[in-house]
Amino acid sequence: MDEFYYEPGGENGESRLTNNVLGAEIDVVLETPDDLFIGEVKHEYAFGADGKLVLVHQLIRQFATATILLRLAGKDKEVVPFVVGDSADYLKKTSQVRFMIFQGWLKEANVLNWDDIGRAQVV
């Protein structure tokens, strides 16, 4: 994988990164005193990717956006990404999920299916 896409640098690097995160959409955002959970929900649709952007992949754009917003707000919280879809096994095979897990940004346990959500209990 070309590391250029994930490291702003060179001429106009910061403005390119800024333009990439401006329109980032996050499906679910939950905040606790220590964490900011950001979730992507998939049902019959694949992850988005845009080759014209520096941050080509949707999940990486979301992670970068949440991380930047927390720093700008001066909040010392951890960004905790999660993904929910029809099949956790399928999601784990996608390149974006594999990359996020490899980088240590997404825990494999946070790749969920709808049955996992149904078993969650609200206290």
Element at 50 (helix H, strand E): none
- The 10 Å Cβ neighbour count of residue 100 is 23
Per-residue pLDDT of the chain (123 residues; tens, 9 = 90+): 444 444 555 565 555 566 666 667 788 899 999 999 999 888 765 655 555 544 456 788 889 889 988 998 999 999 999 999 989 999 999 888 998 999 999 999 999 998 888 887 666
How much is the pLDDT for 12?
Answer: 57
How much is the pLDDT for 118?
Answer: 82
* Residues 111 and 91 sit within 8 Å (Cβ to Cβ): yes
Rounded Cα–Cα distance for residues 26 and 15 (Å): 21
How much is the pLDDT for 1?
Answer: 42
How much is the pLDDT for 8?
Answer: 52
How much is the pLDDT for 4?
Answer: 47
Element at 47 (helix H, strand E): none
How much is the pLDDT for 77?
Answer: 95
User: Structure tokens of 54?
Assistant: 């520096």
How much is the pLDDT for 6?
Answer: 46
Determine if residue 98 is left, alpha or beta; phi over 0 gives left, psi from -120 to 50 gives alpha, anything else beta: alpha
How much is the pLDDT for 95?
Answer: 85
